[in-house]
Structure 1
Amino acid sequence: MVGTRQLRIKQPQSIAQMVVERLREAIIDGHFGLGENISEDKLAETFGVSRTPIRDALLQLQQSGLVIVRPKRGTFVFSPTLADVEILCEYRLMLEMQALRLSMTRNHGDLTDAIQSAVTAMTAALEASDQFAYARADAAFHRAFFDLCGNRLIRDAYTVAEGQLGAIRSSLSVAYGQPGDQSYAEHKQIAELIAAKDIDALAAVMDEHVWRTLRVARDALPEDAGSRRP
């Protein structure tokens, strides 16, 4: 007898969910700048839908921290300060190192393959001077730590900040021209250390790599009294 689960009909995505995914991708890729106003009317026209699914989508993106709704002013892409970036870096480093330890222990072969694939994509993006492709490959590089760590709670915890981190990464890549000018060599070094299972050396390189975001951001984002790291 065929199991009832096999007979279930897969529900199509709602229009709002499709808009959420496309908008999220556009913000992370840098097609919308940090702090940029997002017009509901223009989005509705662009997507060929009514304003209702647009509003639903923006509400979801607000809950994930990618947009901010300001009463009587409109909806804007989030605009982080240096203090915000510092908090994200602390959160990211803590989670990435734990995810790395677990994925290296549980799925080392698959992790090595995924990381090398991302480095190959970064190389191609650099050669093509494609900052958006580089940012996507960069995101895939770090996402592999979580996809292969075997712990859904750690993976879900990273998802909370992943969109904001991706948007900041893209924004800084745009501001500084060629993508990955300073971080590409670190990605290659991280890949080599993962292959060698050298967790101590990885910790040192990851610390330098993650905090580079804050150092680069100092010239691109507004100062904030809450920033503590020199």
Structure 2
Amino acid sequence: MDLPKIQTSNLFDQVYITLKQLIIRRTFRSNEKISIPVLAKNLGISITPIREALNRLEAEGLVKTVPKVGTFVVGIDKSYVEQVIEFRLMIDYWVIEQYRQFSAERFEEIAGRLDQLTRHAVAEVDPAVTPIEQYGHFDMIFHTEFINACGNIQILETYQNLMNFRILTVGNPTPKQYNLSMTQHREIVDQLLKQDWQGTRDGLRQHLNYSKQNLIDWIDSNGGEV
């Protein structure tokens, strides 16, 4: 496997990030065994940072170690997707309750930022020419900004980890699907700006259910696990 060599500064974090991306983007396939010695050779580093990175990835549920057998990439099935979407929705609902408690000045600042972000995303997204990666970028930025407004780093990091599986679909959704996703972001913010809290909740639920169904359809087309 032809992998980029790792620089020595911030080695442990770099190895973790590199392996995480290889797993998320399925360079390492579902249920594939990860050879630590082979990785060390290909990356040009010792096995110690690789073991540390795999421990972190196991804590996030991306790999699983079987004693005396090895470490394997965890597959994603429909049940996992349903649980992740349910958890994300719980966090989103909690965030809405925090927004309701913001001062008028704080709400105006955050809502204005989301308004500008989603208007830019809708204007920039062109189903005919925009690369799929750009849609994923807009999606991650929107949800990160929405959650981050509450200032809880632990919840933000948890939410971002829950979104990791979404990146697996980078090569699959059509531009039309992502265009609709950007439009849904815009509709959520429209409800938020009106402080229509139930409308905001309904918009988020519709958006996540749409994402969930796209993922489940893709998983079904790949034999029930990816």
TM-score (normalised: structure 1): 0.74
Of 101-110 and 196-205, the range deviating more from structure 2: 101-110
SS in 1 for 2:61: coil
Hey, what does 1:17 align to over in structure 2? 13
Task: Look up the match of 2:109.
Answer: 110
Q: Is the 8 A contact 1:102 1:149 kept in 2?
A: yes
Aligned to 1:219: 217
Mapped contact 2:122–2:183 kept (Cα < 8 A): no
How far residue 193 of structure 1 moved from its aligned partner, in angstroms, is: 1.9
How far does residue 220 in structure 1 lie from its aligned partner after superposition?
1.9
Identity value in percent: 23
Q: Give RMSD over aligned pairs.
A: 3.1
In structure 2, the CA distance between the partners of 1:185 and 1:40, relative to structure 1 (3 Å rule), is: same
SS at match of 2:64: strand
Partner of 2:30: 35
Query: Given that residues 88 and 162 in structure 2 are in contact (C-alpha distance below 8 angstroms), is that contact kept between their aligned partners in structure 1?
Result: no
SS at match of 2:94: helix
Aligned length: 208
**Distance (Å, rounded) in 2 between the aligned partners of 1:42 and 1:182:** 42
Aligned runs of 1:1-230 on 2, under 5 Å? 14-28=10-24, 30=25, 32=27, 35=30, 37=32, 38-41=34-37, 43-71=39-67, 74-103=70-99, 105-106=101-102, 107-116=106-115, 118-119=117-118, 120-121=120-121, 124=124, 126=126, 128-150=129-151, 152=152, 155-167=153-165, 169-178=166-175, 180-221=178-219
Q: How far is 1:133 from its partner? A: 2.7
Q: Which amino acid aligns with 1:216?
A: N
The alignment's TM-score, normalised by the length of structure 2, stands at: 0.75
Give the CA deviation at 1:125: 5.6
Distance 2:36 2:62 in 1: 15
Query: What are structure 1's unaligned runs of at least 5 residues?
Result: 1-11, 225-230
- Going from structure 1 to structure 2, the CA distance change for 1:126 and 1:23 (only over 3 Å counts) comes to farther
Q: Is the 8 A contact 2:64 2:71 kept in 1?
A: yes
Structure-1 separation of matches of 2:130 and 2:100: 32
| Deviation at residue 25 of structure 1 after TM alignment | 4.5
Query: How many Å separate the matches in 2 of 1:25 and 1:183?
Result: 23
How far residue 91 of structure 1 moved from its aligned partner, in angstroms, is 0.9
SS in structure 2 of the partner of residue 174 of structure 1: coil
Amino acid at match of 1:110: E
SS of the equivalent of 1:180 reads helix
Distance 2:154 2:108 in 1: 23
